[in-house]
Structure formats: C-alpha cells, structure tokens
Amino acid sequence: MDLKASIDKNNIPKHIAVIMDGNGRWAKKQGEDRIFGHHEGVNSVREIVEACGEIGVKYLTLYAFSTENWNRPKEEVDALMELLVSSISMETPNLIEKGVRLKVIGDIASLPPSCQTELQESIDRTAVNDRVTLILALSYSSKWEITDAVKKIAAMLEKGTINAKDITPRLIEENLNTKDFPDPELMIRTSGENRISNFLLWQLAYAEFYFTDVLWPDFRKNEFYKAILSYQGRERRFGKTSEQISSN
C-alpha cells in the first residue's frame, strides 16, 4: 500500500517532535558498538527531514542529546559530539538545497566549542530557508528549560518590570527556548519505550503520542507516514466533548 498517498494533505501536523531511541540496541543486534548505531541514525534523520519537506510538515524537533546523556561513558559522549559536528558540517549544503532552516534548543553553552561553532555556522547559513524548520534539542531537558524560564521571570519580578499577576501561560511560553515555534501536535518515540523522558513537558500538553517498537535506525519514511496516518485517525478534543468537536 502506498502510505504516502493515503495521507490527508489537509490534516498534516504543523510540528512533529521525535525521541529518536534505540540506536544502541540496533547496533548490538548487528554485533557492532553503540556509536555505529548513532551513525546509522543520522541516515534516518536525513530521511525524516526530507519526508517533512515532501508532505508539508513545517517544524520538526529531534531530541538528539539530553541533559541526562552527559552521564553516558565519556567515549560515547565524545563520539556523539564528533558525529554531530561532522553531520552538521556535511549536511548543511543538503539542508540549504531542501529549504531547511536549522535551529537549536537546550543548554547550548555546555556543548564543546567546536560543536557550538559548527551549529552557529549552519544556523546562519540556513536562516533564510522556510520550507521546514529543523530544531535540534541538544543538551536539552524540559526541567532545565522550565527552571531557566522561571529564573528569567523571577529576575523581572525582582527588577519590578512585572507584577505577580502578569505571570500567565503566555509569559511562561515567551521565556521557553521554543518561544518562536508552535507546540507540536504529534510526538513520536521509537524503540518500544513508552516514556516522555524530560522532553517538551510544557509544549506537549495537547500533543498526540505515537509509540513504535521500530528502532530509530530502522525508522524511515514509511514508518513516519504510519505515524502521521495514526495521528490523522484520532480525534483531538482539547478537553471538549466529541459532539462539540463534530458540530464545529
């Protein structure tokens, strides 16, 4: 069956967030070391970004490295950082050709300087693109991001530029790393883990979740289309009743 052709072009999520999980297990299954799985995972990243451009998903956020991932063995962290730098450097011309704009969220200052430089260069070179916005979550965790927002708001209170009554969901959103992006309508997690793992806790408040057993290196275009078709089969009620939704 042609999954891509079955997708309703009028009901494409504007923003999809992905927890790319299972690289290590995929590599182990092949008798390889974990970093081999991360390398293969980059091919899935390329395909999914391309698929977004083809079907009209405007924002894609990928959880590439969490705050907690710093606790992995040093060799794996170093290898992941190197992979990130080399992938971004190699893929930037491809991003430009496909009209993809790169953005990042997370504690970017904690990344190695070479990584920060490579990211900034790619962000600058892709800034004018508007087909797809690819947001990499790097050294990111939602609790870190929300804590950071609370600190910024507390500083405004201390300075007297706002009062407690000015603290609204909107003000909180304006102080999150994601202030320039709409909330994701769909969150995908691969590899059979049914958790949210400190990812976009605020922004996913009304998102649909799609969990699949497929490991990230095997998650290619067709698997992505299956996730979108599953999303399109759901009724999003935002706290209302089914009858209210269908009468609209």
List, by residue number, the catalytic residues. 21, 69
User: Quick one: 83 or 196, whose CB is closer to ligand FPP?
Assistant: 83
Question: How far apart (Å, rounded) are the C-alpha atoms in residues 204 and 187?
Answer: 8
Apex CA 58: angle with CA 95 and CA 13, to 5°? 140
Q: How far is the CB of 24 from ligand FPP (least distance, A)?
A: 3
Residue found under tokens 């804590």: 147
Does 203 engage in binding with ligand FPP (CB under 6 A)? no
Between 71 and 242, name the residue whose CB sits nearer to ligand FPP.
71
Choose the binding region for ligand FPP from 20-28, 107-115, 120-128, 153-161 (rule: CB under 6 A).
20-28
Among 12, 18, 38, 102, binds ligand FPP (CB under 6 A): 38
Q: What is the dihedral of CA 182, 186, 191, 197, to 10 degrees?
A: 50
Residues 6 or more apart whose CB falls under 8 angstroms from that of 101 comprise: 95, 126, 127, 128, 129, 130, 132, 133, 134
Closest to ligand FPP by CB, 104 or 153 = 104
At 4, list the tokens.
Answer: 């891509």
Does residue 42 touch ligand FPP according to CB under 6 A?
yes
Q: Which residues bind ligand FPP (CB under 6 A)?
A: 20-25, 34, 38, 41-42, 45, 62, 64, 69, 83-84, 87-88, 136, 191
